A and B are shown apart, each in its own frame.
Chain A
Amino acid sequence: MLKLAYQYMRYYKSQTFAILASMVLTSALLSGISSLMYSSQIASLENSKAVYGEWHYSLEAEPEIFHSVHNGEKGTGFLVEQWGKIQIKDMVAEPYPIYFIHADESYRQMAHRELIEGNYPKEANEIAADHYTLGNLGFSGSIGDTLNINGKDYILTGIVKSIWAPDANEMEIFVGENFAGRGSHSLLYLKFDEKEKLYKQLDAFLQKYKISSEKVKANDEVVMYLKGEKPERILDIIKFALTDEHGNFTYIILKLQSEYNLAFRGMILLLCVFSLFIIYSIFNISVSRRRAEYAVMQTLGISEKRIGVTLILELWLLFLAGYSLGCLLGNGIIAGLSGTGLVSEGDKAEDAVFHVAVNAMLAGFVFLLAALVFVGFCTVVSMRKQSIRQVMNGDTSFIKRRRKIYSIRNRSLSGVVVRKFMFSSKKKAVGILLSLSLGGGIFLCTTYMVENLKIHAEMSLKSDDGLGSAYRISLKSNVLSDTIHENTVNELKSMPELSQVYGTKYILGELIIGKQELEWDEYFDEQNKDSYFRQHFAGICVEKDDGTYGIKYDVYGYDAGMIEQLQEFVIEGEISQDELKEGNKIIAAANRDGQGNYNFYGKHPGDTITLRVPKDMNCSSDVLKFQSPGEYYITKEFEIAAIVSRALAQEDSYLNAESWSNMQSLIMTNRQMGSQFGITDYSFVNASLADGADGQQVRGLLLEKIQDVPRAVLKDFTTAIETRKNYLSRQQLFFSGIAGILLVISLFHIMNSMNYSILSRRREYGIIRAMGITDIGFYRMILQTGILYGLLADVFIFLLYNMVLRRFMDYYMAHVVQFLHFTAEVPNGIMAAVMILNILIAAAAVTIPAGKIIKSDIIREIET
């Protein structure tokens, strides 16, 4: 049978080549994308480590535990690869909250706070700090100079690496062991063996030292890649989704994504299925050419089982060669490209180190190897649908006929013949059209996602962490009366080195709603549990004595430029600058649940809301809990003008502090903030660099400007923006690349399908030629077939994309990746290009076999 399989491969060289090529291309795609995704996950992990540190967990520990770890004591089930220790020696509140910490070298290395200049402090009056802290403290001297912090003089002995700009909320001063502080709170930082599951190692560690898990803080952004938490069982996830009232399909998807890396594994599975589809489709074409031969063999006594085994052996032989070649090709291309930094998904191009996804490739190999058995089985089963005689004769009597005489109405029958050939088997025609439209459909989906990714990325930059502006001046304070004076903002606005200077006013408020309006009653549960919110604001959503609920809200005052930018985020209603200026209209940012659904307590534009804010900006911190008597607050009603998905330029000292971001927000104009609540000064300012301005110089100028503003700090996002933009453009390139490769494979498939579709009708075309059709007429007829296929494939693509794929993508973007808005459409140009390309390719694909037929002998064609 092996010999027979080999003989078939040799005899049908072109088809063997087509199957092999399909295997090489699809396995190249499978292995290349797997390695690319794997590499990008590794790059993301490395990037997270670079930003958040190399450590996995930190915990408060007793001295004996430090001692034990220090002595390298080993336990079962865990391996501590590295550990570091810090001691919080002191803390000052002025001019900013600053921690004085003593950190050992191992911690500094794990947290990427290495010395970049000078020495680590030893004496009690020596310190080291980063540029961010030093700049904001107004220090412009050099190592060896004295720096005064909160009335005490310190000698700067070294400069350490700064924290990643968007996360630079805490200021740290490094001190020596001899530093005389008021505290000595110690934290142990652990890095376990990354080859093993981290959560298991942590459990074993905690068990050995009898430490409560509540004392442990995980480096979430890092451990999420390394199985830092015990995943829930898939069965339990599904059970919950099916039985709990809050469970649904999205819950399953999101859970699988967070706990089982669904995006990666799902992609591998999709690629495997795509590969199988292409291989099956091309193999089916090949087999259909020799069905008659198999039928002859059956009459000679060979069993179906043996034919099936021959087919499987043929597939396996080709697969062994094709898969190995494909893996080499796919990984080779990606490795080559990653050298250029073009296909890295990590934040930093220089981190683009290529990793081969061996496990994914092995999984793909096993899947496809097993699936090919299924392909062989399906092929044999499909042969059964016709009797041996029918198969031998190429009998098509099973096809349903229409009793219609076409020549009565049609002057030319070639169009009729073309259509009849195409739809002689509707199932087959639909199969071909579906396969023709698959590549185009996937390409459109990817383009749709890339287009929306661009918008989402831009909107995220604007709203997430201030990366929409190069500079952000904010106040390191949670006292409302700490503000940036109007005059300072005006001075900043007049700086020629800056553009788009936006000052934002801020006040913490409380939204009052009725119990029946609190539609997502569990939405605030998590927030209410947070000790930070409990301590500072007595919780986020609090039930009042009268049965209403008070929900803490960030209330922002934007200027015209920022209000305009908010237009992109509108979910409902309209933003009219004129109406907002003075009136009592307000913009509300909707709440978004974990599954990407938006809601603003069932309210819509035109509805009113009741908002309370402290009357006096100099209020005590208790007033911010909104539990003081009514005279401490201004209570007003506002009409909702529009509901938006996010607020821009958000505060980071009140509700958005700690690990929280994008908290509940209400937005009005700066003028309204003055007229409604009497707020004249600003809480933060965002600014961009004017064209041609020197970033370093502007930074210095800004630090000078805010020198006299108490607690004001400057954050410089220029490098972070550049890095993020590079990352996004690479991400877009990554998706476009995948789409492009899929399109190429599908074009190859179209060529092969068309080729087969034409050549399978050689005899009929021979008859037509014998009847006297000219070469041009024949080409025209064949082109008609190609164009018809192309047009129908276009209709298929259009329907498939709009009725199925796009809906799926909308769901995916709204609920899984949770894009802010997906307002972008596939550009008409690209849509038209795909449609035209389909027709052109289909037309070009049919002319090749048509040329073959024209050159061949009519008699021989008829006699086949």
Chain B
Amino acid sequence: MDYILELCHVEKTYGEKENRVRALKDINLQVKEGEFAAIVGTSGSGKSTLLNLIGGLDTPTKGEIFVKGKETGSLTRKELTIFRRRNIGFVFQNYSLMPVLNVYDNVALPITFDKGKHINRRYIEELLKELGIWDKRKKYPNELSGGQQQRAAIARALITKPAIILADEPTGNLDSHTTIEVMGLLKASCKKYSQTILMVTHNEGIAQICDRIIHIEDGMVVSGARPFPGKGGEGVC
């Protein structure tokens, strides 16, 4: 079976000698297309590190990561950047919107990095309407609530129609009501656009909404600790 994401014996070590910290140890993971998976773990367990490695924002010390069958470690820095731009969308806990751009431009921003790529205005409109912030398109991030900002960030992540969306604690800064709203939107987007979503969270309750939960403890994927069975599953390469 083809997986959209595969991690084989991935390790990440920070520091040297006595300061050496093994953030991830022999991670093997496969994710299918359209899967909405939650990566759950305690603080410092390595879940964000895992997400950064998948997103190409960091490089593994050992092992291989395949996204859409492409081993990201084999790419040059430039190729990796372009690959990331076209295949991976990010949603950050602190939204990471450009404060000097309005919602519409923030969403359009990743497309403009691809020379000659047409900005699909209809798609932007559809996304913003879908996410309920079309009327806020001319507003600047600091004029929006946290939930609205996160919706804009989700729209931005979806705009390039990436293979995977990586969401790092997307509801971490939101109140419970908005958290439910945002999770609903993520889930809906996943369904509507057949989008694969990997979401890091430390909140087991939120994780329950996902199709699958991946537990990480001390830098390792913990098998068997899966209260709700998902569509996919951990496997060994």
Contacts and interface: CB of A to CB of B under 8 A. Distances in A.
B96 A773 contact: no
A777 interface: yes
Contact of B105 (A396, A397, A416): A416
10 contacts: A403-B138, A407-B109, A407-B111, A414-B112, A417-B101, A770-B90, A772-B160, A775-B77, A776-B78, A863-B94
A421 B137 CA distance: 20
Contacts of A424: 100
Interface in A577-622: none
B36 interface: no
Contacts of A414: 112-113
Interface in B62-111: 77-78, 81-82, 84-86, 90, 92, 94, 96-102, 104-105, 108-111
Interface in A759-799: 763-764, 766-777
Interface of A: 395-397, 401, 403-408, 410-414, 416-417, 420-421, 424, 763-764, 766-777, 857-859, 862-863
A394 to B, nearest CB: 9
Given A396-B99, A401-B140, A405-B138, A859 B58 contact: yes
B99 A862 contact: no
Contact of A775 (B78, B98, B102, B105): B78
B42 interface: no
Contact of A764 (B77, B90, B100): B100
Given A768-B98, A774-B82, 13 more contacts: A405-B138, A412-B115, A413-B112, A416-B101, A420-B101, A766-B96, A767-B97, A770-B57, A774-B113, A775-B77, A775-B78, A775-B81, A777-B113
Contact of A405 (B84, B102, B113): B102
Contacts of B98: 417, 764, 767-768
Contacts of A772: 81-82, 84-86, 110, 113, 160
A771 B113 contact: yes
A51 to B, nearest CB: 66
B98 to A, nearest CB: 6
A777 B82 CA distance: 11
B105 A406 contact: yes
Contacts of A413: 101, 105, 108-109, 112
Given A775-B77, A859-B57, A859-B58, A764 B92 contact: no
A214 B183 CA distance: 102
B52 interface: yes
B142 interface: yes
B52 to A, nearest CB: 6
B119 interface: yes
A775 B121 CA distance: 27
Given A768-B109, A772-B82, A773-B81, A862 B92 contact: yes
Residue of A764, A767, A863 contacting most chain B CB atoms (<10 Å) = A767
Contacts of A406: 101, 105
Contacts of A777: 113
A777 B109 CA distance: 13
Given A407-B105, A410-B112, A771-B85, A395 B142 contact: yes
Residue of B99, B104, B121 contacting most chain A CB atoms (<10 Å) = B99
A518 to B, nearest CB: 68
Ranked nearest first, the 3 interchain pairs of A and B with the lowest CB-CB distance are A772-B85, A420-B100, A407-B108
Contact of B81 (A395, A767, A774): A774
Nearest to A396: B99
Interface in B37-62: 48, 52, 57-58
Given A395-B142, A403-B138, A772-B113, A862 B105 contact: no
Contacts, number: 102
Contacts of A396: 99, 142
Contacts of A416: 101, 105
A634 to B, nearest CB: 83
Contacts of B142: 395-397
Contacts of B119: 407, 411
A128 B191 CA distance: 118
A407 to B, nearest CB: 4
Given A407-B105, A407-B108, A417 B78 contact: no
Contacts of A412: 112-113, 115
A777 B81 CA distance: 11
B102 A403 contact: yes
Residue of B108, B137, B156 contacting most chain A CB atoms (<10 Å) = B108
Contacts of B108: 407, 413
Contacts of B92: 770, 862
Interface string B118-129: 010100000000
Nearest to B104: A405
Given A395-B142, A408-B121, A858-B57, A770 B82 contact: no
A774 B76 CA distance: 11
A776 B94 CA distance: 27
Contacts of A395: 142
A857 B48 CA distance: 14
Given A407-B105, A408-B121, A416-B101, A770 B112 contact: no
A417 B78 CA distance: 22
Residue of B48, B94, B109, B121 contacting most chain A CB atoms (<10 Å) = B109
Contacts of B101: 406, 413, 416-417, 420
A776 B105 CA distance: 22
A763 B92 CA distance: 13
A276 B10 CA distance: 56
Residue of A412, A414, A770, A773 contacting most chain B CB atoms (<10 Å) = A770
Contacts of B100: 417, 420-421, 424, 764
A445 B112 CA distance: 44
A767 B113 contact: no
B158 to A, nearest CB: 13
Contacts of A763: 96
Contacts of A408: 121
Contacts of A774: 78, 81-82, 113
Contacts of B143: 397, 401
Contacts of B86: 772
Contacts of A768: 98, 109
B85 to A, nearest CB: 2
Contacts of B94: 862-863
A405 to B, nearest CB: 5
A408 B108 CA distance: 9
B82 A767 contact: no
A781 to B, nearest CB: 10
B112 A405 contact: no
A88 B143 CA distance: 95
A770 B96 contact: yes
A424 B96 CA distance: 18
Nearest to A770: B90
A826 B235 CA distance: 76
Given A407-B105, A764-B98, A862-B92, A771 B110 contact: yes
A401 B78 CA distance: 34
A636 B37 CA distance: 111
Nearest to B100: A420
Contacts of A417: 98, 100-101
A708 B106 CA distance: 97
A399 to B, nearest CB: 8
Interface in B160-177: 160
A414 B186 CA distance: 28
Nearest to B114: A772
Contacts of A405: 102, 104-105, 137-138
B53 to A, nearest CB: 11
Nearest to B81: A774
A410 B109 CA distance: 11
A407 B112 contact: yes
Nearest to A424: B100
A768 B78 CA distance: 14
A424 to B, nearest CB: 6
B41 to A, nearest CB: 17
Nearest to B157: A771
